[in-house]
Structure 1
Amino acid sequence: MDAILWLARTASPWRDLPPEPGNWRTVHCRVRRWTLSGVCESSFQNVRSC
């Protein structure tokens, strides 16, 4: 989730992701899988309801 928030905050491309979250390709694939399966939407809904 840190990577998603960082990208949203900086409006940077995936390849500019800092090394802390991991390899940008791995993070991108993970986020894409989460998005397609609905995990991201569910997580954001849970955060929004707090």
Structure 2
Amino acid sequence: MALSANEVWGAISAATNMYPAAMPNLIARIRMTSRDGVTAGSVREITFGTGT
């Protein structure tokens, strides 16, 4: 199954909100620490939950 770059980036962007909601015991939160989350060089900080 081949995916376009836009499809892959869309999945990564959606994960910022989806993963903490779906797995709060594994991922407590994901937040942007640098830039806007869209442009190159954006950095996400992942805080792992108590279940890890």
Relative contact order, higher structure (CA 8 A, sep 6+): 2
More strand by share: 2
Structure possessing the higher radius of gyration over alpha carbons: 2
TM over 0.5: no
